[in-house]
A and B are shown apart, each in its own frame.
Chain A
Amino acid sequence: MTLRSLLKKYRAALVMVVLFVAFLFLFPSKAGRAEKSLLDQLKTMLLVMPPIFVLLGLLDVWVPREMLIRYMGKGSGLKGTALGIILGAVAAGPLYGAFPVAAVLMDKGASFMNVLVFIGAWSTLKIPMFLFEMQSLGARFAVARFLVDVPGIFLIAFILNKLLTAEDVEKIYSASHDAK
């Protein structure tokens, strides 16, 4: 990476550093709190992030995605749904990263219910994210959220599946084929 592209990438962060330092000088009475808060957050990050991101890389390399996708078609039943959850849970990245993958799933014949479950699992059941949530917000918080999210994902997928007509789903499948 060249210095120029590095600068471009971190330009916003550098601007923020300048603003932060300016803030410290302009409001000395608030500086202590701002510094302490920043240090606390940095400490959490440095402590927790290394293993999380190693795990993220390991999941990415070892989970055979192609194979999982092959078994998610119509009539795959519980197994297909479970695979949808697993596929979402080992994912990394923000929700919008799931849409292109969902298009691939639909293209390979995954049932719409399984695609919806996959989207739900990606949005909120990611394993590295769950571990990180547990570290920063507490085990009770993260586990409670996980427990309510699993039925929630199914409920949302179920209602959405009922809400859409066969024709709607047909349209989505052909559109996703083109969007890829």
Chain B
Amino acid sequence: MENLILYGVVAVLLVFSMIRDRAKTKKALMKGLKAFEGILSQFLIVLMLVAIVLAVFDPATISRLLGAGSGFMGIMIASLVGAITLIPGFVAFPAAAELLRNGAGVTQIAAFVSSLMMVGLVTLPLEIRYFGKKAAIGRNTLAFVFSIVAALFVGWMVAR
């Protein structure tokens, strides 16, 4: 159902775009295709890695490490992994969904997703080049703390 809405909305936008400007629309489609192709390799790697990890760790293990019962420790593990890893959201979401289906807790997965998107340890040197040490380290620290707060909120909202 949600997929249908998504396809519908994008189809309408696409038709509007076609009517307004054919050349621009073609450019848009090429850009989309290029963006997709750009992450494809990384995407396939992560999919296979997650598949192997999920095959090795059974749901019981995953739920012990990252399940709802793993509590604050699980949240910390998840947000640390999110802060360190550098994978695009497009790649991370299906993997996160797969972890959820296999016993991970909502709060823990939300912590992973939030810190993945807002904190970047690997890219910190780059950020420092643009924003200086104080601002870059400050932003990442604040974002890390916030991602835990956000995760608690998401966990609470989804459980309701």
Contact = CB atoms under 8 A, between A and B. Distances in A.
A31 B48 CA distance: 12
B58 to A, nearest CB: 8
A96 B93 CA distance: 19
Nearest to B109: A137
Interface string A17-54: 10110010001001101110110111011011101111
A143 B48 CA distance: 28
Given A38-B51, A145-B150, A175-B132, A94 B13 contact: no
Interface string A120-147: 1001101001011111111111011101
Interface residues of B, number: 77
Interface in B47-64: 47-52, 54-56
Contacts of A155: 146
Interface stretch (A65-73, A77-85, A156-164): A156-164
Given A31-B55, A96-B120, A179 B129 contact: yes
A105 to B, nearest CB: 11
A13 B28 contact: no
Contact of A17 (B48, B101, B139, B146): B48
B146 A152 contact: yes
B19 interface: no
A102 interface: yes
Interface in B87-113: 88-90, 93-98, 100-102, 106, 109-110, 113
B155 to A, nearest CB: 9
A144 B142 CA distance: 20
Contacts of A95: 117-118, 120, 123
A117 to B, nearest CB: 12
A139 B86 CA distance: 24
A148 B150 contact: yes
B44 interface: yes
A16 B45 contact: yes
A92 B36 CA distance: 11
Contacts of A119: 139
B154 A20 contact: no
A64 to B, nearest CB: 12
A57 B132 contact: no
Contacts of B93: 132-133, 135-137
Contacts of A19: 48, 52
Given A137-B97, A156-B143, A163-B134, A16 B106 contact: no
A133 B90 CA distance: 8
Given A23-B52, A156-B146, A145 B135 contact: no
Contact of A10 (B3, B28, B41): B41
B149 A148 contact: yes
Given A51-B6, A62-B28, A141-B154, A20 B48 contact: yes
Interface of B: 2-3, 6-7, 9-11, 13-14, 17, 24-25, 27-33, 35-36, 40-45, 47-52, 54-56, 86, 88-90, 93-98, 100-102, 106, 109-110, 113-114, 117-118, 120, 123, 126-127, 129-132, 134-135, 138-139, 142-143, 146, 149-150, 153-154, 157-158
